[in-house]
Amino acid sequence: MKKTSRAPALALWLAALPGAAFADPATFAVSALVETEGTSGDVDDPAIWVNPADPAASLILGADKAQGLFVYDLTGVVRQFLPDGRLNNVDLRPFVLNGQQVALAGATRRNDEALVFYVIQDGVVRRAEPWEHAAAPGWMSGMVDDIYGFAMGQDAGGTYALVNYKSGHVLQWRIADRDGQIGLTFMRFWQVATQPEGMMADDRAGHVYVAEEDRGIWRYPLSPVLPAIATPIAMIPSDCLPQDDVEGLAIYDGADQRYLVASAQGIDRAAIYALDGDAVPPCVGLVQIASGDSIDGVSETDGLDVTSQPLGPAFPQGLLVMMDDQNAGFTINFKLIDWAAIAAGLAE
């Protein structure tokens, strides 16, 4: 959900919250190294595919709410465009399909309240077979309303697709290879009180994070055999989420430190939470993506993604990708930020 831009400084927002006692996260600014080609559509949510053969040749998938799926290289150039309709959120995981190791990407398609899937192999994105699937079982057709966010996850029980709706419902499906075809088995659902969108599975810890846009971030067990009991992680208002909306979520899975990264759209920043097992993570950083020599900053950010894997000399400690709503020519694009710059800001 897009908001009008907020001009006041972060300190003014924090000071205006009555009776609030906040921690002292690091607040700093970095600049993007690369921006993708702009679009007049509505690109919203990215997913990073790491090329196992050549990390510097990795790709960024960008869901466009008006047009389909864009595929960019790390220089920001569009390598593919799949005109597949109103795709809202996109995520991906490694997957074995028909005996071959590939990456499987999924997205929510708002045209027809569906899930769609793509196979990434040898740097090429193609539709999976079958491509389109019902996002909710038939018996839920009168319950769920207006498909929205999407995430994927994996544990010992398999690979999962998680989809949410503006009605607050979150549905979990198990994905299987059925003789080279994508098959889905419904596992469970739960519901949050108001509209969610961003979601992220922490495969290593067995958690699912759900961003309820106007209320905050919740955590649930990833395993569908466990009850969907919510743990509040960061409510609005709080130290790094002084106001709505909270949007995209991603996990930085570093060898020495793991972080949950959330887009704090109301203050045009990324909030960084230090993960440590089942403990409620504290916010340790608020990052503004400011204008650099030739690339503008990030405003009204929505979706984001991050990887800790080195992606060549430009991104030696990984990459943060954030959606930027305001660019020259009234276009929207993604900004690519070197994680090394963020790590330096966190260490100061």
Using CA atoms, how far residue 55 sits from 48, 49, 60, 94, 250, in Å, is 11, 9, 12, 15, 19
- HSE-up of 27 (CA within 13 Å, CB side)? 12
φ, ψ dihedrals at 111, nearest 5°: -55, -40
Q: What is the pLDDT of residue 144?
A: 97
User: Is the Cβ–Cβ distance between 251 and 306 less than 8 Å?
Assistant: yes
Sign of CA dihedral 224, 229, 230, 231: negative
User: To which residue do tokens 């992680």 refer?
Assistant: 233
User: Is the Cβ–Cβ distance between 217 and 210 less than 8 Å?
Assistant: yes
Does domain 22-347 bear CATH number 2.120.10.30?
Answer: yes
User: To which residue do tokens 């799926």 refer?
Assistant: 69
User: To which residue do tokens 């790709």 refer?
Assistant: 59
User: Is the Cβ–Cβ distance between 318 and 311 less than 8 Å?
Assistant: yes
Per-residue tokens: 109 = 């398609």
Q: Which residues is 104 bridged to in the sheet?
A: 93, 119
User: To which residue do tokens 């009204």 refer?
Assistant: 300
For 168, other C-beta atoms within 10 Å of its C-beta total 18
Alpha carbons 162 and 222: distance in angstroms, whole number: 10
43-49 vs 114-121, strand pairing mode = unpaired
Per-residue tokens: 166 = 């503006």
Q: What is the pLDDT of residue 202?
A: 98
Give one DSSP letter per residue of 248-261, joined into a string.
EEEEEE-SS-EEEE
User: Is the Cβ–Cβ distance between 333 and 39 less than 8 Å?
Assistant: yes
- pLDDT by residue for the chain (348 residues), tens only, comes to 444 434 344 444 444 443 344 458 999 999 999 999 999 999 999 999 999 999 999 999 999 999 999 999 999 999 999 999 999 999 999 999 999 999 999 999 999 999 999 999 999 999 999 999 999 999 999 999 999 999 999 999 999 999 999 999 999 999 999 999 999 999 999 999 999 999 999 999 999 999 999 999 999 999 999 999 999 999 999 999 999 999 999 999 999 999 999 999 999 999 999 999 999 999 999 999 999 999 999 998 999 999 999 999 999 999 999 999 988 888 999 999 999 999 999 998
Q: What is the pLDDT of residue 329?
A: 81
Report the run of H or E that residue 286 belongs to, with start and end: strand 283-290
The structure's pTM equals: 0.93
Q: What is the pLDDT of residue 222?
A: 98
Q: What is the pLDDT of residue 210?
A: 98
